[in-house]
Structures are given as structure tokens and as C-alpha cells.
Structure 1
Amino acid sequence: MVVKKKVSLLISIILTTTIIAGCSANKGGNQNKKISIGITQIAEHPALDAAREGFIEALESKGYVQGENLDIEVQNAQGDIGTSQMISQNFVSQEKDLIFAIATPAAQAAFNSTKEIPIIVTAVTDPVKAGLVSSIETSNTNVAGTRDEVPLDKQFKLLKDIFPQSKKIGILYNTSEVNSEVQIEKAKEIAGKYDLEIITSGVTSVNDMTTALDIILDKVDVLYTLTDNLIASSMPLISAKAIEKKIPVVGAEEAHVKGGALITEGISYKKLGFEAGLKAVEVIKGQDIKEMSVSSLKDTELIINTNTLEKLGVKISKDIMDKAKLIKGGE
């Protein structure tokens, strides 16, 4: 009887040790497993490219390196919504650990494709109106990240400081982008404060751009460019046409100024992507994405394109020039 008890005890110890060893092996396997991330970008232009670079830099800063413990696949829809949807569906079928969606259309396509895989987003102006989260503070969905909230009040104040006689502000926008509609609504709310009238013109593709520009530039004192993917992709054309008509362009962000706009006081998309990358790390480490936010950047930078300044023959006060980062672009 004593022998049987000893044998039973020995078997129990062996089984327990085996189970613990097995659990440890599995845990170690998970730690050594490469994290698989699919990056879906709606279009190729400097702001979104910078956001992608910032995201990857953030991962690297926390020890997640491509080819070592990280497997990143980057896909670009080149502005096509259908392609964006296919990209997200492929990421889901490949069972990616996480999806990084750059810009609202890409984020919506990813969210339409999965409610299970965590989705980190960036360059989304209003994630609530886009139907991605229930609130900015706590998403309550499989989406979190950063949003490119435009400091319109600062930008319109800057516009009025430089061009005090301006009354009519032209805004081109993509009729299919939620982001653009949100920004136009806000622009109209703020415009009255600075005695400005907003004149809009909707476009659906690059093919509409030349005609729309020819019409709107004859009606306005200043052109303002939104954080709209179609507009961002068309900045060289927009800037060239505006300079030809001697109409200054105030951009929403730095990439617009690099593309030929005169000036901006905007956020850095690289920093925006970096912050999104830090949130991705939190998710990888086990943070519940449903409890996370979609945050925005508060810091802005004043940037002036000196090439455009010279071509327009505009005079900007020394005080503003001294505060600004001066760049050349749009040549």
C-alpha cells in the first residue's frame, strides 16, 4: 500500500513537472515568435509616408526590428478604395497580429474587414464620425491610434495676420472623404471669427483638379489646402496654378509647403506615426485596445516655403519669419 502511494506520488510529480515544462516552452515560443504587422496606406504622398516611417521608428525604439522579431508587410492602395478593402481582407486571411492603417479610407477598410485583429490608425481626422470608435477617449472597438486634428484656428489666424485684407478663402476637397467634410464644417465655424468667407469646390479625382482650380482661383483671395489625400497628392499642380494666378496657398501641414504651398502652422506626421507606433507596442505587450484612445498632437510648427514666397512677391513680417522653419520646395 505504501509502495502504491509512493508510485502515485512519483507519477503526479512527473506529470506536474511535464506540464510546467510544457507551459514554459510554449511561453518561450510566443516570446520568440515574430510579430506580424500589416501596414495599409491609402495613397502615396509625403505626409502619409512620414507617418509610416514614424510608426516603424517607434517600434524599433522599443526593440521590435524588421527581420528579427518583427515581420512587416506594407501595401499601398494608390488611392483606390476597392484595392484598400482587398489589402485589409488579405491581411485578415493571413492572420496578422496587428494592422496599421494610414488615413481614414484605409482605416475604414480595415475595420470593415475585421473586428478581431487590433487596428492601430493614424492620419484619421475624426474617428468617431468615420465610424471607427465610440469615443476619442476610449475606443470600445478594436481600433486605437492617433488622429491628425488640424489646428484650424491657428492657421486662420496666421492667414489673417499675413493677409489682413483677405476675405474669401477657397477650399478644394475630395467629396468622398469624411475627413474633408469634417474639416470644412470646422473651417466654416471658425471663419466668422476672422471675418472670412469659405468658398468650396468638390473634386472626385485628379482629372477634375485643373478645371476646379481654374474656377475657384478666380473667386478667392487665398487658397487653403486640407489634410485630404487627393489634395495632398495634387499639391504640385495646385501650387503651380495658384502661383500663376498670384494666389497664396496656406497648407494644413508641412508636406503641403514642401509641395509648393506658401506657409503652414501644422503638426508633424512623422511624430503622429511615431505616437501610433508606441500604441502598437502597448497592444503587442497585452494592453486591451478597447480601453485605449485615439489621441492627437498639440505641438505645431510654423513653416515657410521661400521659393514660393519669392515667386508670389509676398511680404511677411520679420517676427513671423524669425519664428518659422524655412524650406525650399515645389520647384
Structure 2
Amino acid sequence: MKKRFWLGLALASLMTVTAACGGNGGKAATGNEEQGASNAPVEEEKTYTIAISQIVEHPSLDATREGFLAALKDAGFEEGKNLTVDYNNAQGEAANVQTIAQNIASSDADLAFGIATPTTQSLVDEVKDKPVLFAAVTDPVDAGIVPQLEAPGGNVTGAADTNPDAVVQTMDFIAKEFPDVKKIGLVINEGEANTVVMSGIAEEALAKHNIELVKAPVANSSDIQTAAQSLVGRVDAIYITLDNMVVGGVDSIIEVANENDIPFFSADRDSVEKGAFATVGFKYYDHGYEAGQMAVEILNGKNPGEMDVTVPQKLDFIFNLKAAVEQGITVTDAMKAYVKDPENNIIE
């Protein structure tokens, strides 16, 4: 009886040990295993890096960058979370432009973004193994950035920042509403390809109205005020294109225009907000946002070479009424009628 008792107890113990070991290959069960949890590592959220090359800081280009990043954030690509932004400013120096492009080419960035023509040209020359996107480029075909606007092929696409109609509309407006204007002065850095293209469009449009375009060339930003002053007494109005160097020094031109009652027209909204009288244009923030939407598509796998280069479509006249007073301009109801969205585009 006693032997049977101890034999039964031994067999029960053996069964208990076997049950404890058999379900896990001889290892003690952990709490996670008992609940059916996996020991596989948790996959981390993918992160992305965008390298930006901007030619110089001025309101239009800064707004382009801000809009670009806002579009990415709205699509879930947020700096500090799953997006790293490598921002580089060339400070208007050609040597910096090339160095930045070379650094981006050798980096592990997922996408390179050029803001303005010179920086984009350098990126296209240097970056071959990653997508290149651009904005604030006036004529990407003439600048050799893409071979055509539709499905440009390769690894490059972007958003051009001018619609030739905007320049033509501005010149036509001057000819009709300022009949005394016979000569228009253009402060111009002819080293920028986009400037040469736009000045040619303006010159052709003005020729149809028998208005002469008088150029005042600049080689660096310190020349801008002198160039503007050289136009006093020689022209009846002043105009600037999307010229990065000149736009960066636009305060000097505004000062000359105001002191001498010379109507001053620009090709960008930001210069009007600062003190030029009028333009036909758009918000550069919106332009950058559009480029950012293209970046989202590329990061999600779309081939940039299959994406058409875009141009601004929502053009409108933009007036600065305070600047009009400073420059001796009487803004008529007929002028105001040009503006489609007066609430946003008539600045008081």
C-alpha cells in the first residue's frame, strides 16, 4: 500500500514536469508566450530625407520653401517625425551652388529639391541616382533642366514659376492704362537665364505697343540702387522680372521709384507687397505647395520623369494702393476691374 502510494506520486510528478516542458521545447514559458505574443522585432516607421538647395533668401523663395514643406506635412511627411530636411542656402554664390549640389549627390537623401534656376541646374548636373524636383524656375527647358515640359523623362521634374501670359498681361496693362509710358526701365542681372527669357517676352510684348525696354544691367547686389538711379529721367516706368539677385535688393528700387514718382511694376507678388505697384502673379507659397504635392507622389513611388512640369494657372492682377500714392499713380476703377479677387489682391 505504501509502495503503491509512492509509485503513484512519482508518476504524477513526472507527468507534471513533462507537461511543463513539452510545449516549449524544454524552455520555461514566458508571460508573452502564454498570451500568444510574438517575439519578432517591431518594424519602425520609414523615415525620409529631403535635401534642399536654395540660391538666396528672399520672400518669394522662402515662401516657396514654406509651401513645399507644408504640403509634405499635410500628407504625413513631417519634419522631426518621419522627415529630415537638409536645408542649404547658397547665399547667391556660384561656388556655393556647386558645392551644395556635390554634397547632395553624395548624400543618402531620398529626394533633392532645387529652389531657383542656378541651384536646379547644378543639381541636375551632379545628382544622377535620386529624384530631382524644382520650383521657382522660369523656363526649365531653355535652362537645360528638362528637355520638355510634358513627361520630361530621366529623374527630373518640377514646377515652373512663370506663365508667359503673366508678362504679356502686365505689359498690355501698362500700355493701356499708362498711355504716357514710352520707355520702361529694366534692372536686370543677365547672368540669370530666367531673367533673359522673361526680358525677351516683355520686350516683344512692349514692341507691339511701340514701347521701348531700356536695360540697366547689374553684376551683383551692390549695383542695384545705382542701376535704378541710372534710369531716372530716361524712362517712364520701371519693371523687374523674376530675377533672384534683383528681387533680393528690391528695396533699393522701391526707394528710387518713390522718390522720383516712377511707376514700378514687378513679376512677383512679394515685391508688390513690399512696395512695387502692380504685377500679374500668384502666391509663391501656393507655388511651393504644388511642388510639395509632387514630392509626395515621388516619395510614394512615382517616377519623376513621367510627371509633367507644371506652370501657374491661377493668375491675377495684384495692386498695392499705398505704393500707388508713393509713386504718383492714380488708381482708377477701370484698373481695379482687372483684379478678379480684390479682397486678396488689392493691397491697401
TM-score, normalised relative to structure 2 = 0.83
In the alignment, is residue 173 of structure 1 matched against residue 193 of structure 2? Answer: no
In the alignment, is residue 208 of structure 1 matched against residue 223 of structure 2? Answer: yes
Counterpart secondary structure, 2:184: strand
> Do the aligned residues in 2 keep the contact of 1:239 with 1:261 (CA within 8 Å)?
yes
**2-structure distance, mates of 1:138, 1:189:** 29
**2-structure distance, mates of 1:194, 1:50:** 34
**2-structure distance, mates of 1:91, 1:168:** 45
Unaligned runs of 5+ in 2: 1-39
Matching residue of 1:39:
52
Matching residue of 1:112:
125
Out of 236, 241, 247, which is 1:226 matched to?
241
- % same residue: 35
In the alignment, is residue 327 of structure 1 matched against residue 347 of structure 2? Answer: yes
Letter paired with 1:47: S
**2-structure distance, mates of 1:131, 1:41:** 18
In the alignment, is residue 254 of structure 1 matched against residue 269 of structure 2? Answer: yes
Q: Please say which of residues 121-130 and 89-98 is displaced more in the overlay.
A: 89-98
**1-structure distance, mates of 2:134, 2:62:** 14
In the alignment, is residue 84 of structure 1 matched against residue 97 of structure 2? Answer: yes
Letter paired with 2:249: S
Q: Please say which of residues 182-191 and 98-107 is displaced more in the overlay.
A: 182-191
Matching residue of 1:75:
88
Deviation at 1:141, TM superposition (A): 2.5
Counterpart secondary structure, 1:294: coil
**2-structure distance, mates of 1:73, 1:187:** 37
Deviation at 1:181, TM superposition (A): 0.7
Unaligned runs of 5+ in 1: 1-24
Counterpart secondary structure, 2:149: coil
The one-character-per-residue Cα deviations of 1:160-213 (angstroms, maximum 9, x if unpaired) are: 233122111111111210001111111122112233211112211012222212
In the alignment, is residue 318 of structure 1 matched against residue 333 of structure 2? Answer: yes
**2-structure distance, mates of 1:169, 1:319:** 22
> Do the aligned residues in 2 keep the contact of 1:268 with 1:300 (CA within 8 Å)?
no
Matching residue of 2:305:
290
Counterpart secondary structure, 2:251: helix
> Do the aligned residues in 2 keep the contact of 1:266 with 1:301 (CA within 8 Å)?
yes
In the alignment, is residue 182 of structure 1 matched against residue 197 of structure 2? Answer: yes
For 1:185-196, what aligned pairs fall within 5 Å after superposition?
A: 185-196=200-211
The one-character-per-residue Cα deviations of 1:31-68 (angstroms, maximum 9, x if unpaired) are: x2211001111010000011001101111121111111
Letter paired with 2:179: P
Matching residue of 2:155:
142
Deviation at 1:308, TM superposition (A): 1.4
Counterpart secondary structure, 1:72: strand
Counterpart secondary structure, 2:310: strand
Out of 246, 255, 262, which is 1:240 matched to?
255
Deviation at 1:270, TM superposition (A): 1.1
Matching residue of 1:264:
279
Q: Which has the larger radius of gyration?
A: 2
> Do the aligned residues in 1 keep the contact of 2:57 with 2:248 (CA within 8 Å)?
yes
**1-structure distance, mates of 2:171, 2:67:** 28
Q: Please say which of residues 304-313 and 179-188 is displaced more in the overlay.
A: 304-313
Matching residue of 2:178:
163
In the alignment, is residue 103 of structure 1 matched against residue 116 of structure 2? Answer: yes
> Do the aligned residues in 1 keep the contact of 2:97 with 2:122 (CA within 8 Å)?
yes
Deviation at 1:267, TM superposition (A): 2.1
Letter paired with 1:121: F
**2-structure distance, mates of 1:319, 1:216:** 28
Counterpart secondary structure, 2:137: coil
Deviation at 1:301, TM superposition (A): 2.6
Counterpart secondary structure, 2:120: helix
**2-structure distance, mates of 1:318, 1:104:** 38
Deviation at 1:257, TM superposition (A): 0.7
Matching residue of 1:306:
321
